[in-house]
Chain A
Amino acid sequence: MAEVLVLVELNPAGEGVRKTTLEALTAARALGEPAAVVVGAPGSAAAAKAQLAEYGAQKVYVAESEEVDQFLVAPKAEVLAQLVAEKSPAAVVIPSSPEGKEIAGRLAIKTGSGFLTDVTEIAGDGTATQVAFAGATIVHSKVTVGTPIYTVRGNSVTPEPAPGAAEEEQVAVQLSDAARATRVLDRVVEQKSSRPELTEASIVVSGGRGVASAENFSIIEALADSLGAAVGASRAAVDSGYYPHTFQVGQTGKTVSPQLYIAVGISGAIQHRAGMQTSKTIVAVNKDPEAPIFELADFGVVGDLNTVVPQATEAITARK
């Protein structure tokens, strides 16, 4: 069976792999035998191996060096290009983070291949499903040139365990000068949060203009915490200074696709729908019965969020 390279996204500080990696390994199985590629500092593969084996990696290519994390994007693309040349894989599958998409792009140029980003499904014949125009259109596409490269959108594939041998093979890393062009001096975490990351969370609770103040976002956070959810915000809320930009969901912010999306005080402008309408279940709380968000909602409450949300938080907490 043909080999499919899967680039591993590591958690920082040796805490195994990100969920996106397990999703990519699961998606890759439609095309062949997954071979995980770990590009990182020495010791990265050891920390990741058990999870890679559990999710079906037959092989683990270990490309470790102190240098690879010191430069942006290009080193990982270079290692993958080297493996594509040596191993002639059927395809390359990469988690669809900002870095992952850029790695895919550079790899496509290096290998003379086509690539498809943010795919939600890959079929055995290589056909990928993508959503276009903010989720309004569903597209089937195929790479027609070279070794197909896919980036898999977070939360669109359910990780399924499958046994893999995870046989290690060392890969020598020799970066070119071009791969050393952009130095990463520092990785700064400004908002250390105990909440899950927005794009990875299985539940997202978002607040909009209706929340009415930065202080009042605490009721959104409390509901989120009762559900173990991430917190998001509409552009109107961000522009009004209620919540930081990094949590913006929408056309000019993050695109999320959780199991459950709760929109509170959000009218549902196209700008916002663009970032959340592929969520599996949508719940809305809004005082305006005509708000367009209700067109998308599986369950809607017309009412004052200042009453409904704290009551819901309390009821959820009481059930635990």
Chain B
Amino acid sequence: MDIVVLVKQVPDSGSERNLDPADNTVARGSADNVVNEIDEYAIEEALVLKEAHGGEVTVLTVGPDSAADAIRKALSMGADRAVHVVDDAMHGACAPQTSAVLAAALQQMSFDIVLCGAESTDGQLSVMPALLAERLGIPQLSGARKLTVEGGVARVERQTDGGYWALEAPLPAIVSTWDTINEPRYPSFKGIMAAKKKPVEKKSLADLGVDPSTVGLATATSQVLDFAGRPPKGAGVKVNDEGDGAAKLVDFLAVQKIV
């Protein structure tokens, strides 16, 4: 089974993140960049599928040179090879443009299943599987907390509020995973050493047959006009509970007309 995992490098959600005032794009240069956390669950699921069905796991990343670190992490977990789409023209690309680039890259690859995380911690759009399914004409099985593949059919439990939807579609298909689906492995020392020798193929937009003028900030389908930090909250009231903490809390709620 040929498996492709989409991996995104994002600014660490545990440290300060900013937009770049020069062009209102995500400031990636100054950020502490990491693999998008939920993508690690997609990588794990790919490795589990490979262990059950054989085949190869290829990592596909679009991003600047620094995204090589994210690729290395995926390879050290056990993925076999990687394709890294790097092109300065991608800077400031919107989601539909990025999906066009990923779709072009996928069309040059052989795959039975494409896996990705259900959400990135930077953009938080949660739409890439839908965009790629639409562009490639393949089924989307998004938001999975469970995945099984058997006889050319993928079945997914799509996580919902208070339950799940049982989904089914023929392969090839694209599946996105939540962090409820598995527990990602840590790279072993052997895995980290082996990753250094695994092939990483760099591709430009020209290699993918994508016209660079159709991608990037200048032609993006939406534009950030301006941004500002959330105004700091005025200092609230803090009381020590001396037997009357609960009463004061309820008084506060009463003043707010909540109770």
Contacts and interface: CB of A to CB of B under 8 A. Distances in A.
B131 A135 contact: no
A269 to B, nearest CB: 8
B141 interface: yes
A183 B126 contact: no
A105 B122 CA distance: 17
B134 A308 contact: no
B258 A259 contact: yes
Contacts of B33: none
Nearest to B242: A303
A134 B120 CA distance: 12
B250 interface: yes
B248 A301 contact: yes
Pick the most buried of B138, B220, B222, B239: most chain A CB atoms within 10 A of its CB. Answer: B222
Given A134-B13, A137-B227, A252 B179 contact: yes
A181 B139 contact: yes
What's the interface size class on B, roughly?
35 or more
A138 B230 contact: yes
A102 to B, nearest CB: 4
Interface stretch (B53-61, B72-80, B165-173, B196-204): B165-173
A299 B13 contact: no
Given A133-B17, A270-B14, A298-B233, A115 B221 contact: yes
B134 A77 contact: yes
B221 A285 contact: no
Contact of A182 (B169, B228, B258): B169
B248 to A, nearest CB: 7
B99 to A, nearest CB: 7
A171 interface: no
Nearest to A137: B227
A11 interface: no
Contact of A140 (B18, B225, B252): B225
B143 A106 contact: no
Contacts of B236: 282, 294, 296-300
Nearest to B125: A117
Given A139-B224, A316-B250, A188 B256 contact: no
A176 to B, nearest CB: 10
A143 B14 contact: no
B111 to A, nearest CB: 16
12 contacts: A72-B141, A73-B140, A110-B134, A138-B230, A140-B226, A141-B222, A141-B225, A184-B167, A187-B165, A283-B252, A289-B238, A316-B250
Interface of A: 72-74, 77, 98, 101-106, 108-110, 113-118, 127, 131-146, 178, 181-193, 197-199, 203, 227, 245-246, 251-252, 255, 259-260, 270-271, 274, 277, 281-283, 285, 289, 294-304, 307-309, 311-312, 314-316, 319
Given A103-B130, A308-B246, A311-B247, 16 more contacts: A74-B134, A117-B124, A142-B225, A181-B138, A181-B169, A187-B166, A188-B163, A190-B163, A190-B164, A193-B162, A227-B259, A246-B159, A255-B124, A298-B237, A299-B252, A301-B246
